[in-house]
Structure 1
């Protein structure tokens, strides 16, 4: 180990096999829960652990742009559900035929059923006008907030807590309901609650909406479209998977 006169460093190295297995299990079995929530409230120490996990996410310039609005009151959640319902009807109209029927068959009841919702926001003014690492990509603060969401999600999986990410709403409606300032951006509405069962595969795959893309189709080497030693495609040629045209989905996985 290199000398550390400052005392700021700690040993790094691989986890034990059991620890590694636990991390990968959380990643592989994480699911977007829509309708399987149990009514039992989450204990406060558990909620605190999940929020702490979220707060330990990486962030550009260490700006930590997130806030977490905990929503427990059924009256508030009902108002948000009504906003979701209106947007969901609009979304259903964007599909046609069999796709619309399948969309309408999906149960998206997390806002009402989950005992806790968390609205995760991004304050893009935090850290000032010039933020280290965001100078040439202003979206990095939003990306950082998404990392906080993923941290919370994986910690929740380890705790036996289901999470559903709701994205079908008009942001201004939810901002008005929660009194969120104009300059704050909503990144995620998360529904949280205990679950006793999870789908073995993502629900949208189980129900035939889309299937997981083969990883080997998504990995290039040293340039776009370069795979297995083959030359990259000619200028303007698109490298897409057959399912890419069917890209709109009503939620996560």
Structure 2
């Protein structure tokens, strides 16, 4: 598939065929492509939790959702045969940038906050997640990136033995689209055009506030 076509087709898929697993070779390409993402200082401060068996996936949903009957969204999402949870590792970046070619040895929280006003460990892991989404499209599958509620992160770590230093940036569900897949009503807002969001040479428009 041409890259432009992959971009055109990319969307969040929220329902999956539970009877069609993701082929192992496709799963491995998803993960290998994620590792091609850029990272500050080539720190590569990411890790990926792969959940495929019914028991593993049930444990994920139990840890990250509240008790009670699932709503329509959760019912459809739980059909995904593959879940990949991308984690960022802040310490990997602090350690990398303390090396001689960088020299940021001060680990004081104020110094760290000043040097990293944008948490690149999360940004880079997010870019790795996007490569998985694009790979899924190229392989003829559907995928969705969604968040892990902040108050459920501890339960997620406990369920799968995740060390404290790793933080989930979200989860990528992957599978073949199901019959109930539908486009999000949010898309009715329309895609913003280039002229609305691109500022050439100087900020322009009426959104300066």
Say yes or no: does 1:122 pair with 2:102: no
Q: CA deviation at 1:138?
A: 5.0
Q: How far apart are the structure 1 equivalents of 2:48 and 2:78?
A: 19
Decide which structure has the larger Cα Rg and report it. 1
Does 2:197 match 1:215?
A: no
The answer (yes or no) to whether the contact 1:37–1:110 under 8 Å persists in 2 is: no
Kept in 1, the 8 Å contact 2:87–2:167? The answer is: yes
What is the RMSD computed on CA atoms of the aligned residues? 3.1
Does the Cα contact within 8 Å between 2:49 and 2:84 map onto a contact in 1?
A: yes
* Count of aligned pairs between the two proteins: 192
Report 1 or 2 for greater relative contact order, CA contacts < 8 Å, sequence distance ≥ 6: 2
Per-residue displacement from partner, 1:9-58 (whole Å, max 9, x unpaired)? Answer: xxxxxxxxxx7xx1111111111111133421122111111111101111
Q: Which residue of 2 aligns with 1:3?
A: none
Task: Return the match for 1:59 from 21, 29, 39.
Answer: 39
Change (3 A) 1:76 1:38: closer
The runs of 5 or more residues in structure 2 that have no matched partner are: 105-111
The structure with the largest helix share of the pair is 2
> Unpaired segments of 5 or more residues in structure 1?
1-18, 90-103, 239-253
Relative to the length of structure 2, the TM-score reads: 0.77
The equivalent position to 1:153 in structure 2, one of 133, 140, 146, is 133
1:71 aligns with 2:58: no
Question: Could you tell me how far apart the structure 2 residues matched to 1:108 and 1:196 are?
Answer: 14
**C-alpha separation in 2, matches of 1:172 and 1:38:** 28
Equivalence for 1:182: 164
SS at match of 2:171: strand
TM-score normalised to the size of structure 1?
0.65
